[in-house]
């Protein structure tokens, strides 16, 4: 027999909003650490720029909570904790190595992909739930994550070819 519950898509939307709100706050704390660890100036600058964007993303999420009439509260996201812990492990284990920045970039991309997944879902649900004012806020966050992901890919390619050499 199927289990019935009174939970709805509205509850799932709120839960997922709390998940990404928690995640963004963890990311806000992790980005300055990545900036400190990065060897390249572009890497450092990129992580710090995204830290500032993340602050704005948190504010947009607070506006979404306001639209729902709910207090802005995070819910522990073990996925982002794991991704960030993996990044810290790479930072430790590859300290002083020429592969360090490649490792930091790969960790940062795992973070961005988690965020992209969450925002894609939240936008689809906000549309289904007719939360019209929430959609542009979530889309603005998604656009920044996608742009960051692209920048990280370029950074990875540049650090793989430090002398501007292109792979044959
Ligand atoms: Fe973010
Ligand atoms: Fe999560
Ligand atoms: Fe991000």
Contacts with 75 (C-beta within 8 Å, 6 or more apart), sequence order = 15, 18, 19, 21, 22
**Digit-coded pLDDT (tens) for 108-166:** 999 999 999 999 999 999 999 999 999 999 999 999 999 999 999 999 998 777 655 45
Q: How far apart are the CA of 159 and the centre of ligand 1, in A?
A: 24
Give the ligand whose atoms come closest to the C-alpha of residue 81. 2
pLDDT at 4 over 80: no
In a domain, 165, yes or no: no
Query: For position 146, which CATH number holds?
Result: 1.20.1260.10
pTM to 2 decimals?
A: 0.92
Q: What percent of the chain has pLDDT over 90?
A: 90
Q: Please tell me the distance from the alpha carbon of residue 151 to that of residue 40, in angstroms, as a whole number.
A: 14
Q: How far apart are the CA of 167 and the centre of ligand 2, in A?
A: 37
Q: Do the beta carbons of residue 102 and residue 159 sit within 8 Å?
A: yes
Q: Please tell me the distance from the alpha carbon of residue 108 to that of residue 123, in angstroms, as a whole number.
A: 22
Q: What percent of the chain has pLDDT over 70?
A: 94
Q: How far apart are the CA of 80 and the centre of ligand 2, in A?
A: 6
In a domain, 3, yes or no: no
Q: How far apart are the CA of 168 and the centre of ligand 3, in A?
A: 32
Interaxial angle between packed helices 134-160 and 41-68, expressed in degrees from 0 to 180 and rounded to the nearest 10: 170
Q: How far apart are the CA of 79 and the centre of ligand 2, in A?
A: 5
Instruction: Report the number of distinct structural domains present in the chain.
Output: 1
In a domain, 2, yes or no: no
**Digit-coded pLDDT (tens) for 110-123:** 999 999 999 999 99
Q: Please tell me the distance from the alpha carbon of residue 38 to that of residue 66, in angstroms, as a whole number.
A: 37
Rounded average pLDDT over 72-96: 97
Tokens 């993303």 -> residue: 57
In a domain, 127, yes or no: yes
**Digit-coded pLDDT (tens) for 30-49:** 999 999 999 999 999 999 99
């Amino acid at each position: 027999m199927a289990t019935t519950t009174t939970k709805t898509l509205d509850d799932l939307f709120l839960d997922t909003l709390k998940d990404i709100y928690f995640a963004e706050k963890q990311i806000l704390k992790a980005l300055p650490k990545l900036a400190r660890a990065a060897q390249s100036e572009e890497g450092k600058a990129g992580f710090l720029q995204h830290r500032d964007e993340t602050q704005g993303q948190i504010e947009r999420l607070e506006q979404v909570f306001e639209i729902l009439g709910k207090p802005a509260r995070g819910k522990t996201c073990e996925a982002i904790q794991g991704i960030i812990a993996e990044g810290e492990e790479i930072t430790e284990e590859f300290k002083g190595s020429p592969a360090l920045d490649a490792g930091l970039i790969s960790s940062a991309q795992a973070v961005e992909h988690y965020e992209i997944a969450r925002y894609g879902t939240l936008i689809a649900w906000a549309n289904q739930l007719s939360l019209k004012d929430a959609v542009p806020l979530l889309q603005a966050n998604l656009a920044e994550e996608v742009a960051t992901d692209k920048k990280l890919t370029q950074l990875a390619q540049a650090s793989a070819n430090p002398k501007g050499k292109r792979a044959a």
